[in-house]
Structure 1
Amino acid sequence: MLKGYAMKPLKYSLVLLISLMAVIYTAKYRSDLVAVSHQVHITSFPHHLDPRRELKRKCTSPVSNFVFIKTHKTGSSSVLGLLRNYVNTNELNVTRAYQYPRPFVGGYPGRFKCDFMLPNKSTTTSLEHLRFDAEELKRCFAPNTRYFTILRQPWNSFQSGFHYYRKEFEQKDHCPGMPISYIMQGQDLNVMEFLLQASKMLNPTIPWYFRFRNYQSHDLGIDPMLNDKNEIDNKIQELDKNLDLVMLMEYFDESLVLLKDLLCLDWKSLQHVYHYKEGLYDRNSDFPTRKHKKAFEHLHKIDIALYEHFNQTLWKRVNAYGRDRMTRDLQTLHRMRNENQDTVEKREQRGPVPATTSQWRKQLKQYMSENSGACFKPEKRTSGNALESSTQTSITFH
């Protein structure tokens, strides 16, 4: 009898201890979710994406079949440097697609076509600028090919593009200056003034208009002029199904860790730091007026939706990868980067471009021109600020 009474306090103590541990664990788990949710501005994740759960890919050898959809003004050149290092250090038996005309592959700015890729057969890897077309890429790359890309916060990308194209190519009478040379026509516009002008002018009749209208969506194969929300959502869902990984420049290190997992990289492949400096400029963090904000949203409606979607999927991937595992790998990456912080990539020298026929080049030029890739020769404005005349010229291949 006394023994029974003696056991009750011990039993109650154990129950109390277990309950307390459960409360502490639940609080920690919820705080983890809130932290991740804050990063992507959502409040919850599906139950199967438990941040304690680690998904580990089985890696037996480096992946040699992959396509990097190199988007513009997104930090993609830094990823390109890492991939070149990966290919070279592992001595992979790969055949890379050539840039033709530089720096494009497969008929860019038209959607990728196998017929316009060099070499046409036996290509296993592409690292350069191409316009994504899932079905066409599957037609000429192996079934086990892995597809990935990188995105950037659209307003930051827009500003980067403005300063890059204005500084390097303004008023030049060939493709690299478009559509800056068309819109500015000798005017000294700042980025906000350019934004308002572009929102009124940019459409498919202006060569290379997409550089300032849903540029990232264009590179991923979506029509930059698409406006219907349901159609936009459907296109983004299609991309989600066809891409193995979408990296984000704003979370570059987390993206690199996921890329390492996707391609079965070793740490040596990520140990170098690659710097691509476009020059310093004052970045505007916000819009001065509602008018400017609406102008930007008009030009980048798809890019904004695209970024928001893949911002969420990136953090779901991080959760599936394992939060603790990600933390450990980031520490390793940062340590290796600090040890190699003075390393800068040397530009790659490639062999001669495979021979082509004049008929093939003619067809490629025509395809590029049909997809807003013609060239424009700017003319002077009249006193009324209207264009006197404009001419489109053929693309020059070197």
Structure 2
Amino acid sequence: MANLTQIRIFLLLGATFLFLYLLGCLFDADVNVVKSIHSTYGHFGSTTRRGKCTPARNIVFIKVPKCGGSTITNIFQRYGEKHNLSFLLPRAGIPSIDASDIRDHIGDAVNLIVNHVHFYEKFMKQLMPRDTLYIGVLRNPMGYLKSYYNYAEKGITKKGVNVSLADFEENPWKYPDLKVRQNRQSSFYGALDKGATPKGIEEFILHVDSKFNLILITDHMKESIVLLGELLCWSMEDMLYVSHKVSTDGQLGEKSTTSFEHTTNMALAERNYRIYSPLDYAMFEFFNKTLWRKISAMGKSFDDKFRKFDAMLNNLQNRCRYTSESLGLSDEYIQSVIKEDSDSEDYLCHRMLLPSTQYIEYILRPKQNII
């Protein structure tokens, strides 16, 4: 009888271990599926294990100034308008969203935050739904410096002395009155707790990487937008765009970004700016590599989609850029855009050409009944 009992216990233990082993294999298989999804597309909250996806509705976009953010914001604005989504908008007459704007709306139904805003992690997590996708954008620091320096007219000090971009690049520490902020791009993602030490920079970047689903790179806009479309599970038409650097030149009234030129000694300029803004450089290089790693992981699938998207984009941009009615932001033009039927041939072009501030003032804010 004792032997029989021992045999039963042995068989029971064996069955238990077999069950645990099979369960472990199943768990590993699930983990591998998830890893495969993440390695291919990044942290795709909208993608399921069966390979199907649901179009994303809840998005935070950290729109860093002078990084092509207006072009990207227009994509989000068009989609949100089309699908009657709710935006957290800047207050009237204010270009950006601050922490108090977010805090004051905690408890409200908000789908999209896509205008100039810093990453206020605590308040955003309290306001936004759990399935919110966090998107950011960065730009090569030297290109960013030129655009920011020229747009903000940093070439004149408080003492009225003209300082060219080239002079600044060759010795940025010589001109403290210019107040060109160090690490300005990365400041939109938070503050360094431990200073700009190698370890502090590494921890900061890894924290941002853990919180964001995708960081777009302005220098590779088309590739970034294709990857973003995969993440959002949106159609190619949803992701089409007209560069707002092109659409706002001259007739649409933005300041020129070609007032000053880089120094001819770009090796010196880059070396200096790496010291001046080390976190911006580290952020850009990390997320640029991350972008291309994600693209590479998609393989031929990405190449096929990129070619198709590129062809659609070229056709549309050639048509939209020369839309005859877009002669400037006159009241007549804006009213025609507001009242235009969605079946109109130029409807998409007109929506794309409308700058973010006018999109908010004349279309999004009235639809949400926000003053």
Instruction: Please give the TM-score of this superposition, normalised by the length of structure 2.
Output: 0.66
Which residue of structure 2 lines up, in the alignment, with residue 351 of structure 1?
A: 365
The alignment of Structure 1 onto Structure 2 pairs a total of residues equal to 280
Q: Is the 8 A contact 1:64 1:93 kept in 2?
A: no
Q: Is the 8 A contact 1:113 1:136 kept in 2?
A: no
What letter matches 1:287 in structure 2? N
Q: CA deviation at 1:288?
A: 5.3
**Residue 353 of structure 2: SS of its match in structure 1?**
coil
What letter matches 2:365 in structure 1? G
Of 256, 264, 286, the residue aligned with 2:225 is: 256
| Worse overlay, 279-288 or 326-335 | 279-288
Q: Is the 8 A contact 2:102 2:124 kept in 1?
A: yes
Which residue of structure 1 lines up, in the alignment, with residue 165 of structure 2?
A: 191
Of 319, 338, 344, the residue aligned with 2:314 is: 338
CA distance in 1, matches of 2:227, 2:128: 22
Q: CA deviation at 1:283?
A: 4.5
After the TM superposition, which residues 215-230 of structure 1 pair with which residues of structure 2 at under 5 Å, given as runs?
215-223=184-192, 226-230=195-199
Which residue of structure 2 lines up, in the alignment, with residue 269 of structure 1?
A: 238
Counterpart check, 1:323 vs 2:305: no
What letter matches 2:97 in structure 1? V
**Residue 351 of structure 1: SS of its match in structure 2?**
helix
Of 255, 262, 267, the residue aligned with 1:284 is: 262
Q: Is the 8 A contact 2:90 2:97 kept in 1?
A: yes
Q: CA RMSD in A?
A: 3.2
For structure 1, the 5+ residue unaligned runs are: 1-47, 167-179, 356-398
CA distance in 1, matches of 2:289, 2:263: 22
Which residue of structure 1 lines up, in the alignment, with residue 4 of structure 2?
A: none
CA distance in 2, matches of 1:294, 1:327: 35
Distance verdict in 2 for CA 1:141–1:304, change over 3 Å: same
Q: Deviations over 1:173-227 (max 9, x none)?
A: xxxxxxx38845322211022346753565xxx8x95x53111100111349932
Of 124, 134, 138, the residue aligned with 2:111 is: 124
What letter matches 1:123 in structure 2? V
Q: Deviations over 1:10-34 (max 9, x none)?
A: xxxxxxxxxxxxxxxxxxxxxxxxx
Q: Deviations over 1:265-319 (max 9, x none)?
A: 10111234233245352643863574x4443223211000001111111111112
Distance verdict in 2 for CA 1:189–1:54, change over 3 Å: closer
CA distance in 1, matches of 2:370, 2:239: 31
CA distance in 2, matches of 1:54, 1:162: 35
Which residue of structure 1 lines up, in the alignment, with residue 290 of structure 2?
A: 313
Q: Deviations over 1:19-76 (max 9, x none)?
A: xxxxxxxxxxxxxxxxxxxxxxxxxxxxx889x9789944554211111110111111
**Residue 212 of structure 1: SS of its match in structure 2?**
coil
Q: CA deviation at 1:93?
A: 3.5
Q: CA deviation at 1:102?
A: 1.9
Distance verdict in 2 for CA 1:212–1:244, change over 3 Å: same
Which residue of structure 2 lines up, in the alignment, with residue 296 of structure 1?
A: 273
What letter matches 1:192 in structure 2? A
Distance verdict in 2 for CA 1:80–1:288, change over 3 Å: closer
Which residue of structure 1 lines up, in the alignment, with residue 86 of structure 2?
A: 95
Q: CA deviation at 1:133?
A: 2.9
CA distance in 2, matches of 1:224, 1:103: 28
What letter matches 1:141 in structure 2? M
Q: Select the structure that is richer in helix.
A: 2
Q: CA deviation at 1:337?
A: 1.2
CA distance in 1, matches of 2:282, 2:144: 14
What letter matches 1:194 in structure 2? F
Which residue of structure 2 lines up, in the alignment, with residue 158 of structure 1?
A: 145
Q: Is the 8 A contact 1:217 1:223 kept in 2?
A: no
Distance verdict in 2 for CA 1:199–1:123, change over 3 Å: farther
CA distance in 1, matches of 2:193, 2:265: 22
What letter matches 1:339 in structure 2? N
Q: Deviations over 1:340-359 (max 9, x none)?
A: 1232512312436856xxxx
Distance verdict in 2 for CA 1:289–1:239, change over 3 Å: closer
Q: Is the 8 A contact 1:224 1:302 kept in 2?
A: no
Q: Is the 8 A contact 1:74 1:249 kept in 2?
A: yes
Distance verdict in 2 for CA 1:150–1:95, change over 3 Å: same
Counterpart check, 1:133 vs 2:124: no
Distance verdict in 2 for CA 1:323–1:295, change over 3 Å: same
Q: Percent identity?
A: 20
For structure 2, the 5+ residue unaligned runs are: 1-34, 250-254, 321-351
Which residue of structure 1 lines up, in the alignment, with residue 28 of structure 2?
A: none
Q: Is the 8 A contact 1:69 1:128 kept in 2?
A: yes
Q: Is the 8 A contact 1:105 1:116 kept in 2?
A: no
Counterpart check, 1:233 vs 2:202: yes
Q: CA deviation at 1:135?
A: 3.0
**Residue 143 of structure 1: SS of its match in structure 2?**
coil
What letter matches 1:245 in structure 2? L
